[in-house]
Structure 1
């Protein structure tokens, strides 16, 4: 049984690495902690669900 819903394995399929998943979720969670937003659940949980639902995406940029 996974403690995270959606599971880490499912979320890892949405990104290119677990590091990207953590950074993406952390950035979104910080956005959700703004005082004007009253979320019914924890910010990280909301961010992970948004990643699972493809509400949040990312684009890998090439550093030259």
Structure 2
């Protein structure tokens, strides 16, 4: 190993958190996105024997059986993304809620 190369320490996290944070704007967004997708994947696995469902199956091939790990792999592979609503979109949703 050459002295100018940074040594990468092994971690239990794969994909590494640093690479995941490059795909989102904050740690909070990463946690929220992975949790939401992990619940969807868990629901998908639970309804497998019941016929066609509305939940999207995992978008990556994974050796993991844990929904959250699969969700993080999807984030790392840019298979899932997020959309942060603008102020105008939030105002429109609030107005629609008041009309009902």
TM-score of the two chains, using structure 1 as the length reference: 0.87
Instruction: Report how many aligned residue pairs link the two structures.
Output: 64
Provide the residue aligned with 1:60 in structure 2. Answer: 84
Per the normalisation by structure 2, the TM-score is: 0.58
**Which runs of at least 4 in structure 1 moved beyond 2 Å after TM superposition?**
none
CA deviations 1:1-20 (Å, max 9, x no partner) are: 22110000100010000100
Say which structure is richer in helix. 2
- Structure 2 residues without counterparts, runs of 5 or longer: 1-9, 49-57, 59-63, 89-100
Unaligned runs of 5+ in 1: none
Over aligned residues, Cα RMSD in angstroms? 2.0
Tell me the distance in 2 between the aligned counterparts of 1:60 and 1:20.
10
